[in-house]
Amino acid sequence: MEIIKDQETMEARIRELGAEITAIYKDQPLTMLVVMNGGLFFGAKLAEAIAVEDFFIDSISASSYKHHSSTGNVELRSFMKLDVKGRHLLILDEVLDTGRTLKKIKEKLLDQGALSVKTVVLVEKTIPRPEGIDHADWAGFLMEDRYLIGCGMDSDEKYRNLPYIAAF
| Catalytic residue ranges | 97
Half-sphere exposure for 142 (CA within 13 Å, toward CB): 8
Q: How many residues does the chain have?
A: 168
Return the amino acid letter for 30.
L
78 to each of 18, 44, 88, 137, how far by Cα in Å? 26, 19, 20, 24
- Give Cα 36 to chain centroid, integer Å: 9
Return the amino acid letter for 4.
I
* Burial of 86: CB neighbours in 10 Å, binned 0-12, 13-18, 19+: exposed
Q: How many other CB atoms are there within 10 angstroms of residue 147's CB atom?
A: 10
Q: How far apart are the first and last CA of the chain?
A: 5
Is residue 53 within 8 A of residue 82, CB to CB? The reply is no
Q: Point out which residues pair with 118 in neighbouring strands.
A: 90
